[in-house]
């Protein structure tokens, strides 16, 4: 047992690069499966509402704008989103995807809202939507 | 001469709001009292309004450090209710993430212990090394804190060869660093002297007060849910339960460092024996009426979830017993006859997570010390009774 066992380690680190990166100028790369914000590919959406039902934060809202023309509007409230990517897992046609952005803060929460208006797609789901 | 000193709910020594009241004689604590309820969030009630799948993400948010512990505990219970068995590969990945989480929690705790003992460079280095395991978790699951890897019937993400190689390479670095910290512990006399003899909890007291996790193991009781009541794959994984005999904060540090090495061994075993096949099975949306108790060894100790289903797609009741709650009684015992200066160290040694532990509100009668849990309706009635009986207040005027 001796005093100052940690000192050699401390001195060694004087000559090492910092463990952190110089953030706003240098950014770390996010991993391949990073969970950023969800977005919709409207050409694939069959309006099964699986994402709306499974979203734990109630951040997805689908409303019909014109029943006859089968037009729908989807709003993703990114201010409520908890970035769990459950919507991506629930989607039977891969219409929901996650991006890799991480600098998504804003001064106003309403700016975070994303909207799509589209005609319901006719795509064969790769698996049945999870219904009861 | 006796004084009462309050520490908290807001205090620099405490990371989360909790109120400690200590009766002191000079520098020595003669009696201590904990007051809880500053961080109650109503999570259990919220869980009753959400579906089985939505609740995975809710239970994940009970705690930031042991987020995977709570989801795994919940998901294990729900899988029992739904009578499904996750595939072997899914289970291996699930418990791989749990062991990675144990490493990150223990490294975090080591840093906090160093900080509370006044050894801040130790704190910086352990937290830097913790980044390695956080990066592994981010690569596996896509996020650093809330991994969201569990789903009912398995896990959501698969591992590929490249990831397995990355984890094994990073583990070699972590193992080397942990060996250095172990060497440091045995050789740095000032650090050891600060921790030894602080917060003594005898073996008998640890058992009588139902302490859990590293706190009870540091008192020489080999209690670990992974060995005592093996869940998941722990009956086929070789590992040892780490204990220490010193019954103090030093013992709790030793247990955690020993557990780090056990975690590395478990992870290596899991990765080398990773079975092939699917990672998840399809889960039904509803569960038959039944009830289940799920146990899980979180980094801090035994975590218990009680789940009751009523045939719908929502739970009827979800009760969470976080490990910190099991350790509160033992903490009071540890604080008694110690010094005021040791309070942050003793308190940090149980690795408290206040927001994990805050569940129901109990009313305590200050005069008689009687405790009762009161329902919302009874509380409303009580408030009406008091308002009706209070004539003087009815004449009160609005001051503006």
Q: What is the CATH number of the domain that holds A82?
A: 3.30.70.3270
Chain A interface test: which of B59, B71, B143, B311 (most A C-beta within 10 Å): B143
Q: Say yes or no for a CB contact (<8 Å) between B141 and A9.
A: no
Q: Rounded distance, CA B78 to CA B315, Å?
A: 9
The domain total for chain A is: 1
More confident: B159 or A123: B159
User: B56 and A55 in contact by Cβ < 8 A?
Assistant: no
Query: What's the pLDDT score for residue B95?
Result: 94
Q: Which of B53, B58, B282 sits opposite A54 (nearest CB)?
A: B53
Task: Name every chain B residue with its beta carbon within 8 A of the beta carbon of A85.
Answer: 142, 148, 156
B375 touches chain A (CB under 8 A): no
**Cα–Cα dist A6/B88, whole Å:** 44
Q: Is the pLDDT of residue A132 over 50?
A: no
pLDDT attached to residue B16: 79
| Residue A76 maps to a domain | yes
| Cα distance between residue B294 and residue A41, in whole Å | 40
Residue A98 lies in a domain: yes
pLDDT score of B309: 93
Q: Does A28 touch chain B (CB under 8 A)?
A: no
- Any B CB within 8 A of A71 CB: no
The pLDDT value given to residue A115: 93
- What pLDDT sits at residue B371? 60
Comparing alpha-carbon positions, the chain B residue that sits nearest to A128 is B282
Residue B291 is predicted with a pLDDT of: 93
* Parts of chain B with a pLDDT under 50: none
Say how far apart CA B114 and CA B72 lie, in whole Å.
30
Q: A64 lies in a domain?
A: yes
Residue predicted with more confidence, B358 or A116? A116
Residue B317 neighbours by CB under 8 Å, 6+ apart: B44, B48, B306, B307, B308
Question: Is A29 a member of any domain?
Answer: no
Please report residues of B whose CB lies closer than 8 A to that of A2: 187, 189
Q: Which of B15, B352, B66, B323 is nearest to B199 (CA)?
A: B352
**Residue A69 within any structural domain of the chain:** yes
Asked whether B111 and B122 are in contact (CB, 8 A), the reply is yes
pLDDT number for residue B384: 66
CA nearest to B252, candidates B134, B117, B358, B154: B117
Q: Specify the pLDDT at position A74.
A: 93
User: 3-state class of A47 per DSSP?
Assistant: coil
Say what the pLDDT of residue B370 is: 61
From the list A6, A34, A85, the residue facing B121 with the nearest CB is A6
pLDDT at A131 exceeding the cut of 50: no
Residue A89 contacts B, CB cutoff 8 Å: yes
DSSP classification of residue B297? E
Residues on chain A touching B82 (C-beta within 8 angstroms): none
Is A131 within the bounds of a domain?
A: no
Is residue A25 assigned to a domain?
no
Query: Is A37 in contact with A81 (CB distance < 8 Å)?
Result: yes
The 10s digit of each residue's pLDDT in A48-95 is 999 999 999 999 999 999 888 899 999 999 999 999 999 999 999 999
Among B234, B258, B135, B127, residue whose Cα is nearest residue B186: B258
Query: Half-sphere exposure (CA, 13 Å, Cβ side) for B39?
Result: 18
Considering only CB atoms, A86 lies closest to which of B57, B180, B187, namely B57
Complex ipTM value: 0.88
Domains in chain B (CATH in brackets) are 43-357 (1.10.645.10)
CA atoms within 13 A on the CB side of B239: 29
Query: Where in the sequence is the domain holding A40, given as residue range(s)?
Result: 35-119
From the list B50, B128, B286, the residue facing A132 with the nearest CB is B286
Q: Is residue A16 part of a domain?
A: no
Q: What is the mean pLDDT of residues A24-42?
A: 89
- Is residue A129 pLDDT above 60, yes or no? no
């Amino acid at each position: 047992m001796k005093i100052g066992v940690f000192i050699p380690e401390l001195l060694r680190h004087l000559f090492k690069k910092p463990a952190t990166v110089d953030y706003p100028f240098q950014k770390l790369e996010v991993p391949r499966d990073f969970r950023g914000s969800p977005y919709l590919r409207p050409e694939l959406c069959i309006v099964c509402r699986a994402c709306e039902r499974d979203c734990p934060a109630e951040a997805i809202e689908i409303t019909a704008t014109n029943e006859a023309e089968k037009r729908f509007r989807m709003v993703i409230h990114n201010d409520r989103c908890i970035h769990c990517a459950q919507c991506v897992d629930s989607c039977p046609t891969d219409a929901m995807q996650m991006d890799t952005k991480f600098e998504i803060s804003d001064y106003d929460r309403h700016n975070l809202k994303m909207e799509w208006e589209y005609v319901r797609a006719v795509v064969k789901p790769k698996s049945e939507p999870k219904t009861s | 001469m006796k004084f009462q000193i309050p520490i908290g709910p807001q205090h620099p020594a405490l990371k989360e709001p909790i109120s400690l009241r200590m009766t002191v004689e000079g520098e020595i604590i003669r009696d201590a009292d904990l007051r809880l309820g500053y961080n109650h969030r109503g999570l259990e009630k919220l869980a009753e309004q959400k579906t089985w799948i939505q609740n995975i993400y809710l239970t994940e948010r009970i705690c930031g450090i042991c987020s995977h512990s709570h989801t795994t505990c919940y998901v294990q219970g729900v899988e029992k209710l739904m009578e499904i068995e996750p595939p072997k590969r899914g289970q291996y990945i699930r418990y791989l993430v749990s062991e990675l989480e144990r490493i990150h929690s223990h490294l975090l705790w080591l840093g906090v212990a160093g900080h509370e003992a006044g050894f801040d460079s130790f704190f910086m280095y352990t937290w830097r090394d913790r980044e390695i395991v956080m990066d592994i978790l981010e690569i596996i699951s896509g996020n650093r804190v809330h991994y969201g890897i569990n789903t009912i019937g398995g896990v959501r993400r698969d591992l590929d060869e490249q990831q397995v190689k990355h984890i094994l390479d990073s583990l070699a670095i972590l193992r080397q660093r942990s060996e250095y910290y172990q060497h440091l512990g045995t050789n740095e006399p000032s650090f050891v002297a600060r921790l030894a003899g602080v917060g003594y909890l005898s073996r008998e007291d640890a058992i009588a007060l139902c302490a859990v996790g590293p706190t009870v193991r540091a008192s020489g009781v080999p209690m670990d849910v992974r060995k005592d009541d093996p869940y998941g794959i722990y009956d086929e994984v070789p590992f040892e339960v780490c204990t220490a005999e010193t019954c103090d904060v030093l013992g709790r540090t030793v247990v955690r460092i020993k557990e780090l090495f056990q975690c590395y061994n478990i992870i290596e075993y899991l990765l080398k024996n990773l079975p092939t096949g699917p990672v998840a099975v399809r889960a039904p949306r509803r569960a038959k009426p039944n009830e289940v108790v799920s146990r899980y060894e979180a980094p801090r100790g035994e975590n218990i979830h009680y789940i009751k289903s009523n045939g719908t797609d929502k739970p009827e009741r979800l009760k969470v017993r976080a490990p910190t709650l099991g350790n509160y009684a033992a903490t009071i015992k540890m604080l008694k006859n110690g010094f005021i200066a040791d309070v942050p160290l003793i308190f940090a040694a149980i690795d408290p997570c206040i927001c994990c532990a805050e569940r129901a509100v109990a009313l305590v009668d200050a005069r008689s010390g009687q405790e009762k849990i009161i329902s919302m309706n009874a509380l409303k009635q009580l408030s009406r009774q008091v308002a009706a009986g209070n004539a003087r207040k009815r004449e009160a005027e609005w001051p503006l």
